[in-house]
Protein backbone atom coordinates (compact mmCIF):
# COMPACT_ATOMS: atom_id res chain seq x y z
CA UNK A 1 0.00 0.00 0.00
CA UNK A 2 1.10 3.56 -0.65
CA UNK A 3 -0.63 6.38 1.20
CA UNK A 4 0.24 9.61 -0.60
CA UNK A 5 0.51 12.40 1.93
CA UNK A 6 1.82 15.18 -0.28
CA UNK A 7 2.88 15.97 -3.83
CA UNK A 8 5.45 18.72 -3.47
CA UNK A 9 5.78 19.66 -7.13
CA UNK A 10 5.14 18.56 -10.69
CA UNK A 11 7.84 19.89 -13.02
CA UNK A 12 6.75 20.16 -16.66
CA UNK A 13 10.23 20.70 -18.09
CA UNK A 14 11.98 17.80 -16.33
CA UNK A 15 8.80 15.64 -16.32
CA UNK A 16 9.18 14.76 -12.66
CA UNK A 17 6.83 14.49 -9.68
CA UNK A 18 8.07 14.91 -6.11
CA UNK A 19 6.01 13.13 -3.49
CA UNK A 20 5.87 12.14 0.16
CA UNK A 21 3.94 9.21 1.53
CA UNK A 22 3.74 6.14 3.71
CA UNK A 23 4.68 2.79 2.19
CA UNK A 24 3.18 -0.26 3.91
CA UNK A 25 4.72 -3.67 3.14
CA UNK A 26 3.38 -6.99 4.46
CA UNK A 27 4.92 -10.45 4.27
CA UNK A 28 5.16 -13.61 6.36
CA UNK A 29 8.43 -14.85 7.83
CA UNK A 30 8.14 -18.09 9.81
CA UNK A 31 11.39 -17.27 11.64
CA UNK A 32 9.67 -14.36 13.36
CA UNK A 33 6.77 -16.42 14.81
CA UNK A 34 6.52 -16.45 18.61
CA UNK A 35 4.36 -17.99 21.33
CA UNK A 36 1.77 -15.85 23.13
CA UNK A 37 1.09 -18.45 25.87
CA UNK A 38 1.41 -17.23 29.42
CA UNK A 39 0.21 -13.69 28.74
CA UNK A 40 2.94 -12.78 26.26
CA UNK A 41 2.76 -9.89 23.85
CA UNK A 42 0.31 -10.24 20.98
CA UNK A 43 2.39 -8.01 18.71
CA UNK A 44 6.02 -6.91 18.65
CA UNK A 45 6.97 -3.38 17.64
CA UNK A 46 10.42 -2.28 16.47
CA UNK A 47 11.47 1.17 15.29
CA UNK A 48 15.22 0.50 15.51
CA UNK A 49 15.57 -2.02 12.70
CA UNK A 50 19.35 -2.04 12.77
CA UNK A 51 19.30 -3.22 16.39
CA UNK A 52 16.71 -5.85 15.46
CA UNK A 53 18.97 -7.28 12.76
CA UNK A 54 21.80 -7.58 15.28
CA UNK A 55 19.63 -9.70 17.61
CA UNK A 56 18.49 -12.38 15.15
CA UNK A 57 18.19 -12.89 11.38
CA UNK A 58 15.51 -10.66 9.90
CA UNK A 59 14.69 -10.09 6.24
CA UNK A 60 13.65 -6.53 5.49
CA UNK A 61 12.60 -5.59 1.94
CA UNK A 62 14.56 -2.84 0.24
CA UNK A 63 12.30 -0.88 -2.09
CA UNK A 64 13.51 1.61 -4.69
CA UNK A 65 12.06 3.62 -7.58
CA UNK A 66 12.46 2.13 -11.03
CA UNK A 67 11.72 5.52 -12.67
CA UNK A 68 13.68 7.48 -10.08
CA UNK A 69 14.86 11.01 -10.74
CA UNK A 70 16.43 11.01 -7.27
CA UNK A 71 16.90 8.67 -4.29
CA UNK A 72 13.95 7.25 -2.38
CA UNK A 73 14.59 8.66 1.09
CA UNK A 74 13.28 6.92 4.21
CA UNK A 75 12.31 9.36 6.96
CA UNK A 76 11.19 6.82 9.56
CA UNK A 77 10.08 3.19 9.73
CA UNK A 78 8.27 0.87 12.10
CA UNK A 79 8.10 -2.95 12.00
CA UNK A 80 5.14 -4.86 13.47
CA UNK A 81 5.39 -8.65 13.95
CA UNK A 82 2.38 -10.86 14.68
CA UNK A 83 2.63 -14.24 16.50
CA UNK A 84 2.25 -16.17 13.23
CA UNK A 85 5.25 -14.35 11.72
CA UNK A 86 3.24 -11.84 9.70
CA UNK A 87 5.39 -8.71 9.37
CA UNK A 88 4.13 -5.22 8.57
CA UNK A 89 6.72 -2.60 7.73
CA UNK A 90 5.54 1.02 7.74
CA UNK A 91 7.91 3.45 6.04
CA UNK A 92 7.61 7.20 5.60
CA UNK A 93 9.32 8.04 2.32
CA UNK A 94 10.19 10.99 0.08
CA UNK A 95 10.94 10.50 -3.60
CA UNK A 96 11.09 12.02 -7.05
CA UNK A 97 9.82 9.97 -9.99
CA UNK A 98 10.23 10.67 -13.67
CA UNK A 99 7.04 10.23 -15.68
CA UNK A 100 6.37 11.12 -19.31
CA UNK A 101 4.02 14.10 -19.70
CA UNK A 102 2.08 15.06 -22.81
CA UNK A 103 1.77 18.86 -22.71
CA UNK A 104 0.22 19.23 -26.16
CA UNK A 105 -3.01 20.71 -24.74
CA UNK A 106 -1.28 22.93 -22.16
CA UNK A 107 -2.85 24.57 -20.13
CA UNK A 108 -5.91 22.33 -20.56
CA UNK A 109 -3.95 19.09 -20.30
CA UNK A 110 -4.69 16.02 -18.18
CA UNK A 111 -1.89 13.75 -17.10
CA UNK A 112 -1.34 10.33 -15.58
CA UNK A 113 1.91 10.24 -13.64
CA UNK A 114 3.44 6.96 -12.51
CA UNK A 115 5.48 5.92 -9.49
CA UNK A 116 7.19 2.56 -10.13
CA UNK A 117 8.35 0.60 -7.06
CA UNK A 118 10.39 -2.60 -7.05
CA UNK A 119 12.26 -4.83 -4.62
CA UNK A 120 15.93 -4.04 -4.92
CA UNK A 121 18.17 -6.96 -5.84
CA UNK A 122 15.42 -9.58 -5.86
CA UNK A 123 14.72 -11.81 -8.85
CA UNK A 124 11.16 -12.40 -10.00
CA UNK A 125 11.13 -16.00 -8.72
CA UNK A 126 12.41 -14.93 -5.28
CA UNK A 127 10.14 -12.07 -4.19
CA UNK A 128 8.15 -9.27 -5.76
CA UNK A 129 5.60 -6.62 -4.85
CA UNK A 130 1.88 -7.20 -5.31
CA UNK A 131 -0.90 -4.69 -4.59
CA UNK A 132 -3.02 -5.20 -1.49
CA UNK A 133 -6.75 -4.70 -1.26
CA UNK A 134 -6.47 -0.97 -0.58
CA UNK A 135 -3.70 -0.29 -3.08
CA UNK A 136 -3.00 3.44 -3.22
CA UNK A 137 -4.74 5.91 -0.97
CA UNK A 138 -4.99 9.63 -1.67
CA UNK A 139 -6.97 12.04 0.47
CA UNK A 140 -8.38 14.22 -2.30
CA UNK A 141 -9.96 16.51 0.28
CA UNK A 142 -6.71 17.62 1.91
CA UNK A 143 -3.99 17.02 -0.68
CA UNK A 144 -3.30 20.18 -2.69
CA UNK A 145 -0.90 20.69 -5.60
CA UNK A 146 -0.52 24.24 -7.00
CA UNK A 147 -2.21 24.57 -10.42
CA UNK A 148 -3.29 20.91 -10.43
CA UNK A 149 -6.45 19.01 -9.54
CA UNK A 150 -6.01 15.44 -8.32
CA UNK A 151 -8.66 13.08 -9.69
CA UNK A 152 -7.78 9.56 -8.53
CA UNK A 153 -4.99 7.12 -7.72
CA UNK A 154 -4.67 3.40 -8.36
CA UNK A 155 -2.06 0.69 -8.04
CA UNK A 156 -1.33 -2.40 -10.12
CA UNK A 157 1.57 -4.73 -10.86
CA UNK A 158 3.42 -4.78 -14.15
CA UNK A 159 6.32 -6.59 -15.77
CA UNK A 160 8.98 -4.25 -17.19
CA UNK A 161 11.56 -5.54 -19.66
CA UNK A 162 14.90 -3.88 -19.13
CA UNK A 163 18.60 -4.60 -19.52
CA UNK A 164 20.91 -5.51 -16.65
CA UNK A 165 24.60 -5.81 -17.50
CA UNK A 166 23.69 -6.11 -21.18
CA UNK A 167 21.13 -8.88 -20.71
CA UNK A 168 17.37 -8.45 -21.13
CA UNK A 169 15.48 -9.32 -17.96
CA UNK A 170 11.90 -9.03 -16.74
CA UNK A 171 11.49 -6.89 -13.63
CA UNK A 172 8.21 -7.05 -11.64
CA UNK A 173 7.21 -3.58 -10.46
CA UNK A 174 4.35 -2.06 -8.51
CA UNK A 175 2.97 0.92 -10.42
CA UNK A 176 1.08 3.70 -8.67
CA UNK A 177 -0.81 5.86 -11.18
CA UNK A 178 -2.12 9.31 -10.27
CA UNK A 179 -4.69 11.02 -12.50
CA UNK A 180 -4.30 14.80 -12.46
CA UNK A 181 -5.71 17.71 -14.46
CA UNK A 182 -4.18 21.16 -14.73
CA UNK A 183 -6.15 24.13 -13.45
CA UNK A 184 -5.96 26.58 -16.40
CA UNK A 185 -7.15 29.68 -14.53
CA UNK A 186 -3.61 30.85 -13.71
CA UNK A 187 -2.44 30.72 -17.35
CA UNK A 188 -5.71 32.17 -18.65
CA UNK A 189 -5.42 35.12 -16.28
CA UNK A 190 -1.70 35.65 -16.80
CA UNK A 191 -1.30 34.94 -20.53
CA UNK A 192 -4.46 34.44 -22.57
CA UNK A 193 -6.67 37.29 -21.38
CA UNK A 194 -4.04 40.10 -21.41
CA UNK A 195 -2.63 39.06 -24.78
CA UNK A 196 -6.11 38.76 -26.32
CA UNK A 197 -6.91 42.31 -25.13
CA UNK A 198 -3.68 43.60 -26.71
CA UNK A 199 -4.61 41.93 -30.01
CA UNK A 200 -8.12 43.44 -29.99
CA UNK A 201 -6.77 46.91 -29.19
CA UNK A 202 -4.30 46.66 -32.09
CA UNK A 203 -7.25 46.41 -34.48
CA UNK A 204 -8.26 49.97 -33.58
CA UNK A 205 -6.10 51.10 -36.51
CA UNK A 206 -8.89 50.04 -38.87
CA UNK A 207 -11.08 52.80 -37.41
CA UNK A 208 -8.35 55.48 -37.58
CA UNK A 209 -8.07 58.13 -40.30
CA UNK A 210 -6.46 56.65 -43.39
CA UNK A 211 -4.26 59.74 -43.83
CA UNK A 212 -2.59 59.31 -40.43
CA UNK A 213 -0.31 56.50 -41.59
CA UNK A 214 2.35 57.32 -38.98
CA UNK A 215 -0.09 57.04 -36.10
CA UNK A 216 -1.51 53.79 -37.45
CA UNK A 217 1.94 52.27 -37.78
CA UNK A 218 2.85 53.41 -34.27
CA UNK A 219 -0.19 51.63 -32.81
CA UNK A 220 0.61 48.44 -34.71
CA UNK A 221 4.27 48.36 -33.73
CA UNK A 222 3.51 49.15 -30.10
CA UNK A 223 1.23 46.09 -30.07
CA UNK A 224 3.88 43.92 -31.73
CA UNK A 225 6.64 45.04 -29.33
CA UNK A 226 4.31 44.49 -26.38
CA UNK A 227 3.65 40.93 -27.54
CA UNK A 228 7.38 40.26 -27.97
CA UNK A 229 8.13 41.62 -24.51
CA UNK A 230 5.29 39.55 -23.11
CA UNK A 231 6.77 36.37 -24.57
CA UNK A 232 10.15 37.12 -22.97
CA UNK A 233 8.56 37.74 -19.57
CA UNK A 234 6.54 34.51 -19.81
CA UNK A 235 9.54 32.29 -20.62
CA UNK A 236 9.69 31.14 -16.99
CA UNK A 237 5.96 30.40 -16.84
CA UNK A 238 5.52 28.38 -20.02
CA UNK A 239 6.91 24.82 -20.20
CA UNK A 240 10.46 24.57 -21.53
CA UNK A 241 9.83 21.94 -24.20
CA UNK A 242 10.71 21.54 -27.87
CA UNK A 243 7.27 20.71 -29.33
CA UNK A 244 4.36 23.11 -29.83
CA UNK A 245 1.47 23.26 -27.40
CA UNK A 246 -1.88 25.02 -27.57
CA UNK A 247 -0.61 28.00 -25.61
CA UNK A 248 2.38 28.38 -27.95
CA UNK A 249 0.03 28.32 -30.94
CA UNK A 250 -2.14 30.97 -29.28
CA UNK A 251 0.83 33.27 -28.69
CA UNK A 252 2.14 32.80 -32.23
CA UNK A 253 -1.26 33.43 -33.83
CA UNK A 254 -1.72 36.53 -31.67
CA UNK A 255 1.64 37.87 -32.81
CA UNK A 256 0.78 37.07 -36.45
CA UNK A 257 -2.61 38.82 -36.16
CA UNK A 258 -0.93 42.03 -34.95
CA UNK A 259 1.92 41.85 -37.46
CA UNK A 260 -0.55 41.44 -40.34
CA UNK A 261 -2.01 44.89 -39.60
CA UNK A 262 1.28 46.51 -40.71
CA UNK A 263 1.00 45.64 -44.45
CA UNK A 264 -2.69 46.59 -44.30
CA UNK A 265 -1.75 50.04 -43.00
CA UNK A 266 0.82 50.43 -45.76
CA UNK A 267 -1.69 49.39 -48.42
CA UNK A 268 -4.29 51.85 -47.12
CA UNK A 269 -1.65 54.61 -47.15
CA UNK A 270 -0.68 53.79 -50.74
CA UNK A 271 -4.32 53.98 -51.85
CA UNK A 272 -4.67 57.34 -50.11
CA UNK A 273 -1.51 58.74 -51.80
CA UNK A 274 -2.76 57.63 -55.21
CA UNK A 275 -6.10 59.31 -54.69
CA UNK A 276 -7.99 56.04 -54.32
CA UNK A 277 -9.43 56.78 -50.90
CA UNK A 278 -12.49 54.62 -51.50
CA UNK A 279 -10.31 51.52 -51.89
CA UNK A 280 -8.56 52.30 -48.63
CA UNK A 281 -11.86 52.79 -46.82
CA UNK A 282 -13.20 49.56 -48.28
CA UNK A 283 -10.09 47.69 -47.11
CA UNK A 284 -10.52 49.08 -43.58
CA UNK A 285 -14.16 48.03 -43.49
CA UNK A 286 -13.24 44.52 -44.63
CA UNK A 287 -10.49 44.23 -42.02
CA UNK A 288 -12.84 45.31 -39.22
CA UNK A 289 -14.64 41.97 -39.45
CA UNK A 290 -12.05 39.85 -41.31
CA UNK A 291 -9.36 40.17 -38.61
CA UNK A 292 -11.60 39.15 -35.66
CA UNK A 293 -13.17 36.35 -37.72
CA UNK A 294 -9.78 35.06 -38.91
CA UNK A 295 -8.33 35.26 -35.40
CA UNK A 296 -11.25 33.34 -33.94
CA UNK A 297 -11.01 30.77 -36.75
CA UNK A 298 -7.30 30.21 -36.13
CA UNK A 299 -7.88 29.72 -32.41
CA UNK A 300 -10.75 27.31 -33.09
CA UNK A 301 -8.58 25.35 -35.51
CA UNK A 302 -5.79 25.22 -32.94
CA UNK A 303 -8.15 23.98 -30.24
CA UNK A 304 -9.42 21.24 -32.56
CA UNK A 305 -5.90 20.24 -33.61
CA UNK A 306 -4.47 20.02 -30.09
CA UNK A 307 -7.42 18.14 -28.58
Question: Mind listing the pLDDT tens digit for each residue in 142-198?
Answer: 777 888 888 888 888 888 877 666 677 778 888 888 899 999 998 888 888 988 999
Q: Could you tell me which residues come within 8 angstroms of residue 47 by beta carbon, excluding any fewer than 6 positions away?
A: 76, 77, 78, 79
- What's the pTM? 0.78
pLDDT score at 301: 92
Cα radius of gyration rounded to whole Å, the chain = 30
Q: List the one residue out of 95, 93, 118 whose CA is nearest residue 16.
A: 95
Question: b/e for 269-302, b at 16 or more Cβ within 10 A?
Answer: bebbeeeeeebbeebbeebeeebeeebeebbeeb
63 neighbors 172 (Cβ within 8 angstroms): no
Least confident of 1-10, 236-245, 277-286: 236-245
Question: Mind listing the pLDDT tens digit for each residue in 81-128?
Answer: 888 889 899 999 999 999 989 989 998 999 999 998 888 877 677 777
Q: Cα angle at 239 between 235 and 245, to 5 degrees?
A: 110
Amino acid sequence: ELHLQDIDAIDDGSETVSFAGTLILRWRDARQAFDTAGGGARELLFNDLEALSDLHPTWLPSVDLLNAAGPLEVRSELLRIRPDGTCTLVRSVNGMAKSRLDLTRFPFDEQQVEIMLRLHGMARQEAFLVPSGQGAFVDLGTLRVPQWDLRAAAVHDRIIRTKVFGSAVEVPVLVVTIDIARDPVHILRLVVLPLAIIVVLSWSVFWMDRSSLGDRMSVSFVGILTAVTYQVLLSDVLPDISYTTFIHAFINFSFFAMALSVPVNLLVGIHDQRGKAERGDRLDRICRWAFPAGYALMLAASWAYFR
